[in-house]
Chains A and B, each alone.
Chain A
Amino acid sequence: MKKESYLLPLVLIFLWQGLSSLQWIPSYKLSSPVEIVLGLKDLLIIGMPPGNLLHHHVLYSLYRVGLGYGVAAMLAIPLGLLMGWSPRIRKMVNPLIEVIRPIPPLAWIPIAIVWFGIGIKSAAFIIFLGAFFPILLNTIAGVLSINPILVEAARTLHAKEKQIFQKVLFPGSIPSIFVGMRIGIGIGWMTLVAAEFTGVKEGYGVGYMIMTARDIQRPDQILAGMLVIGLIGLLINLGLRTFESRVIRWRG
């Protein structure tokens, strides 16, 4: 990264620290950068609530996301390929999707708790809902973007229906599938933390950790938790992008 990208954040942090040290910013509302770093250290060593360390919270959250997101991708990609391939299936399934899709994933939390109880299943279900639709819609768009002549070329090489899926439709829609996967993981991650705020929790999870910090009036740890959420989101996106650029080298 270039110098320019660091400059503004650094200036703001110094300004923030300065104003906090002069006590122009009240510490019980907004902790100073130094306090946040110390809060982060406490989260790592002591934990919130004490004993539940930060990395446990992170791992639990990631586990929930991984489960919901994995199931979403496993269902959305094949269904998207089918829907992109067959106008009939598309017409059949589309109305259903158009009705369910606008319901925010978080609006499902109460019914998810009724169905699955409080715990990993309902959390994973909420994440599933958040990630499923972007992956599905982008997979469909990916199939539709494939030049039909490639399917014909495969046919003249005597490909059967199954092989057309494996060797033409799937690889051809990968760039678009990746777009969906990146949007999906973003939404999934956001949804998870919100789900952990509102009750889908069981002692661990970054959202739960932040809510506990709020309960005992620790703005430094609330902000440190937010920082952690942002950093993990950033890392996931970076990882996916690296993976993506490797897989679709052919696009140049």
Chain B
Amino acid sequence: MKTFPGRNQGEDVHVLDHLQYRIENGKFISIIGPSGCGKTTLLRIIAGLEKASTGKVLLDGHEMVQGSEEVGMIFQEYALFPWRTTLQNIEMGLEIRGVEKEKRRSTAMEYIRSFDLNGFEKRYPRELSGGMKQRVAIARTLIMNPRVVLMDEPFGSLDSQTRNAMQEFLLGVWLKRGDTIIFVTHNVDEAVFLSDEIVILSKRPAKIIQRKEVTLTRPRDRTSEECNKIWREILKLLEEEMKSEGKDDYRRSILQST
């Protein structure tokens, strides 16, 4: 559960409500829900950037420690260090970990090659396109080999063509590596194209409305009838959620006092 102090004293905003969810290793999970429902907060809690008001995050049955090496996060705004080149950005985590220069350079170069960033290793972020920046950010996270990769609307600020290309790129990388990915998006089409499972959240305070498994074989065709069917179902759920009065829940959520 997560509550934030509200604007007035003694009023807390209740953001996440008794979310309980188990994720299998190696799965690609998308989280989708109305904007402002707390998707990002959930990711930030898992990443250890925020503490849950109550409740905890377990990995293999152990409570996760903040700053542990188990989780990596990718942000919508790329969050590249503007004073570091592509290579230096990708190396950052290994540098923090204390890996010696030769070793981290050669590891980073492998990522540069396989992420199609050849020739850009000495460029600064401002010289890269949006899609490239996000590839650098993904490489920077994956080089740490985290157990769980969190992605917070990673393709949200890309144009639709780049976005599609990046989705296919990410799938390719994931199929090869088999990371566990938790992918937050508000784009239903993207969730259907990518995920093994889609978790649909309600408005604030966010609860799980439904878990939708997507068993279609990959590569998927975005325009196929099967994809469209799932897409329509999820869209309908979300629309109902937006329409639902839910006044009691809502009032309770914003007026709940400590």
Contacts and interface: CB of A to CB of B under 8 A. Distances in A.
A171 interface: yes
A172 B83 contact: yes
Interface residues of B, number: 30
A163 B96 contact: yes
A202 interface: no
A160 B81 CA distance: 16
Contact of B92 (A147, A154, A251): A154
Nearest to A171: B83
Interface string B98-134: 0000000000000000000000000011110000000
Contacts of B67: 155, 158, 160
A159 B126 contact: no
Contact of A158 (B96, B127, B140): B96
A97 B204 CA distance: 45
A149 interface: yes
B51 to A, nearest CB: 13
Contacts of B93: 157-158
A250 B75 contact: no
A167 B92 contact: yes
B79 A150 contact: yes
Contact of B126 (A152, A157, A174, A252): A252
Of the four ranges (under 10, 10 to 19, 20 to 34, 35 or more), the interface on chain A belongs to 20 to 34
Given A153-B79, A157-B96, A249 B124 contact: yes
Contacts of B140: 157
B69 A153 contact: no
Contact of A167 (B69, B79, B85, B96): B96
A97 B21 CA distance: 52
28 contacts: A150-B79, A152-B73, A152-B79, A153-B75, A153-B80, A154-B96, A155-B49, A156-B48, A156-B49, A156-B71, A157-B72, A157-B92, A157-B96, A157-B141, A158-B67, A158-B68, A158-B144, A167-B81, A171-B81, A171-B84, A172-B81, A248-B83, A249-B124, A250-B83, A250-B84, A250-B124, A250-B126, A251-B126
Interface of A: 147, 149-150, 152-160, 163, 167-168, 171-172, 174, 248-252
Given A156-B49, A160-B96, A172-B83, 7 more contacts: A149-B75, A155-B48, A157-B92, A158-B69, A158-B93, A171-B83, A250-B125
